[in-house]
Amino acid sequence: MHLPTALLNRLRGPGLVGHVIAMLAGALSTLSFAPYHLWPLGMLSVALLYQGLCQVDSKQAAVRGGAWGLGLFASGVSWIYISIHLHGNASPLLAGVLTGGLELILSLFFALMAWVWVRFFRSHGPWFGSLSFAAIWVAQEIFRSWFLTGFPWLYHGYAHTQTWLNGWAPVGGVWLVGGISVFIACLLSEWQLLRRPKQALAALLLVAAFWCGGYALQQVNWTQSKGDPLTVNLVQANIEQALKWDPDYITHTLSLYRDLTYAQPATDLVVWPETAVPVLQSQGQYFVDGIAANLAKRGSTLITGIPVDDMQPAGMKIYNGIMVGGSEPQSEYLKQKLVPFGEFVPMEELLRGLIDFFNLPMSSFSRGPADQGPLLAAGYRLAPLICYEAVYPDFAARQAAQSDLLITISNDSWFGSSIGPLQHLQMAQMRAIESQRWMIRATNNGVTALIDEQGRIRQRIAQFQQEVLLGEVQPMQGLTPYLRWQSAPLMALVVLVLLVIGLRRRRQNTR
């Protein structure tokens, strides 16, 4: 027996060997994302999981799906360890336990997905089997975007940010791109089609239609230019995370942003990153207003991240904010999607103070209101996305639908030189593709970038460099189908597909 055939048989059969192969396959999927961009490995990874579930019972399927998910998250979000250990002052053992615990919890999404597919939808035919698997995959990813505030990271569609399949993103977002890719991967893994020439030809034609359709959709201009391009100045100050909130370093930080900004020629917009002003707004407003007033004389508008404090009858609330300096009326946005433990502590009464990680600087932010409009600057509407918010597809789409440009400010210093910040950049590219709008991305230590409406990075500053990016962005108008309807049509399609296949399977089982 040839080695590939033997491995495939072990993968399909129950037992530990199949689970280990599935875990390795999950780890393989990480190589399809940034910074590696080996997208065929992502499809191979999905195909291995699919084949590994074709002959096992539902209990074995749950373990196998969980093993695949653990491989994905252990390799793909291991960078969380850096923030817990280095910046949360947790011991290597404790940081490893906390990181591993999170990865194990996240793997349960794939365990549930695999169990549901095998228990209720697995079909003996390659067409319905592949289609139902892709549908449940999409449902799992959408579910993961909101359950317990969501962890919308490592969606399969991000692997195709630079392939023809990204043409489907303005139609159905990253979830549609991922669903198509999963369907193709599963269908091409069905070797029995080779014994049926007509079906094999039909499968190849369908695969070609998806790829060529994506290329054709890339040529569609869902949006159009609005007005003249804006010149921008993005300041990447490269402040070390350990110094960012140090009271003795704040004056130096503010002076650095001021001096880097003034040293550049006048531009329409000047953008500083997330919490670039590391003091509460009530204390730092005078500084922002002074800089904004000086820039206004040059025809420039300042946009900066700043913690916003608000005294209410129930007590002080602090928000992670972004503001347009010196605007009348003042334009600001308060972050809605907060990072668990980084910006708020779940079960705070129990966890706060147990270890340093649960007491990080600025980890008591409040959630901003849901009815906030876009920022108004230089005569245009900007969709604000603060750091983590850029990874929520539907949330970003709702923001973008009201706006002419996307702007995201971030501070990925928490994750050092890991792959996390580069994955984050890739997600920002997908948001630009979905909305067909330019993205302004300003970060503390990289990657600061300008991304066009096709998701291409036009200019960037490498990580860990103190530099200023000067460039142009083009405001856009019009709505892509995804901005108009978000994920509602795709979810309706998923429900319809699963309903039809579920009823068909039930009839087969009752014969």
Same domain as 125, residue 243: no
Same domain as 258, residue 150: no
Task: Give percent of the chain above pLDDT 90.
Answer: 78
Tell me the pLDDT tens digit for each residue of 385-415: 999 999 999 999 999 999 999 999 999 888 8
pLDDT of 350 over the 60 cut: no
Burial (Cβ within 10 Å: 0-12, 13-18, ≥19) of residue 252: exposed
Is residue 332 part of the annotated active site? The answer reads no
pLDDT of 146 over the 70 cut: yes
Tokens of 153: 């990271």
Structure confidence at residue 125 as a pLDDT band (50, 70, 90):
confident
Map tokens 């994302």 to a residue: 33
pLDDT of 445 over the 60 cut: yes
Looking at 141, 332, 335, 453, which residue is catalytic?
A: 335
Same domain as 139, residue 189: yes
CA distances from 86 to 90, 92, 326 (A): 7, 9, 37
Tell me, what CATH number does 405's domain have?
3.60.110.10
- Tell me which residue of 287, 280, 361 sits closest to 316, measured CA to CA: 280
Same domain as 126, residue 97: yes
Q: Which residues contact 135 (CB under 8 A, 6 or more apart)?
A: 179, 493, 494, 497, 498, 501
Q: How far is residue 108's CA from residue 293's CA, in Å, rounded to a whole number?
A: 52
Q: How many domains does the chain have?
A: 2
The pLDDT of residue 355 = 52
The pLDDT of residue 384 = 97
Q: How far is residue 364's CA from residue 47's CA, in Å, rounded to a whole number?
A: 43
pLDDT of 74 over the 60 cut: yes
Same domain as 493, residue 468: no
pLDDT of 347 over the 60 cut: no
Between the CA atoms of 134, 136, 142 and 143, what dihedral angle is there, to the nearest 10 degrees?
-160
Looking at 103, 190, 274, 389, which residue is catalytic?
A: 274
Same domain as 502, residue 445: no
Per DSSP, the three-state class of 450 is strand
pLDDT of 349 over the 70 cut: no
Domain with 178, as residue range(s), is 3-221+487-510
pLDDT of 357 over the 80 cut: no
Tokens of 350: 């129990």
Tell me the pLDDT tens digit for each residue of 362-378: 567 899 999 999 999 99
pLDDT of 2 over the 50 cut: no
Same domain as 161, residue 22: yes
Summarize the confidence of residues 311-320 as an average pLDDT. Answer: 86
pLDDT of 486 over the 60 cut: yes
Q: How far is residue 416's CA from residue 437's CA, in Å, rounded to a whole number?
A: 29
Per DSSP, the three-state class of 227 is coil
Q: How far is residue 105's CA from residue 101's CA, in Å, rounded to a whole number?
A: 6
Tell me the pLDDT tens digit for each residue of 236-266: 999 998 888 899 999 999 999 999 999 999 9
Same domain as 362, residue 302: yes
The DSSP result for 255-313, as a single string, is HHHHHHHHTSPP-SEEE--TT-S-S-HHHHHHHHHHHHHHHHTTT-EEEEEEEEEEEET
Q: How far is residue 429's CA from residue 456's CA, in Å, rounded to a whole number?
A: 7
Query: Which residues face 497 on adjacent strands?
Result: none
pLDDT of 421 over the 70 cut: yes
Between the CA atoms of 167, 168, 169 and 175, what dihedral angle is there, to the nearest 10 degrees?
-140
Q: Which of 78-87, 278-287, 292-301, 446-455 is the least confident region?
A: 78-87
Looking at 141, 186, 332, 387, which residue is catalytic?
A: 387
Query: Which residues face 321 on adjacent strands?
Result: 306, 334
Structure confidence at residue 344 as a pLDDT band (50, 70, 90):
low
Same domain as 294, residue 359: yes
Summarize the confidence of residues 296-309 as an average pLDDT. Answer: 95
Most confident among 115-129, 191-205, 219-233, 342-356 (mean pLDDT): 219-233
Is residue 274 part of the annotated active site? The answer reads yes
- Tell me which residue of 430, 423, 415 sits closest to 464, measured CA to CA: 415
Summarize the confidence of residues 190-213 as an average pLDDT. Answer: 91
The pLDDT of residue 314 = 77
CB 453 within 8 A of CB 476: yes
Same domain as 228, residue 216: no
Same domain as 244, residue 291: yes
Summarize the confidence of residues 468-481 as an average pLDDT. Answer: 98
Structure confidence at residue 47 as a pLDDT band (50, 70, 90):
very high
Query: Which residues face 312 on adjacent strands?
Result: 315
pLDDT of 291 over the 80 cut: yes
Structure confidence at residue 14 as a pLDDT band (50, 70, 90):
confident
For the chain, the average pLDDT equals 92
How many other β-carbons are positioned within 10 Å of the β-carbon of residue 145? 21
The pLDDT of residue 415 = 87
Structure confidence at residue 86 as a pLDDT band (50, 70, 90):
confident
Task: Give percent of the chain above pLDDT 70.
Answer: 94
Summarize the confidence of residues 154-172 as an average pLDDT. Answer: 98
Q: Name the helix (H) or strand (E) containing 319.
A: strand 315-324
Same domain as 250, residue 116: no
pLDDT of 473 over the 90 cut: yes
Summarize the confidence of residues 307-321 as an average pLDDT. Answer: 88
The pLDDT of residue 311 = 78
State the DSSP code for 469: E
pLDDT of 111 over the 90 cut: yes
The pLDDT of residue 1 = 35
Is residue 328 part of the annotated active site? The answer reads no
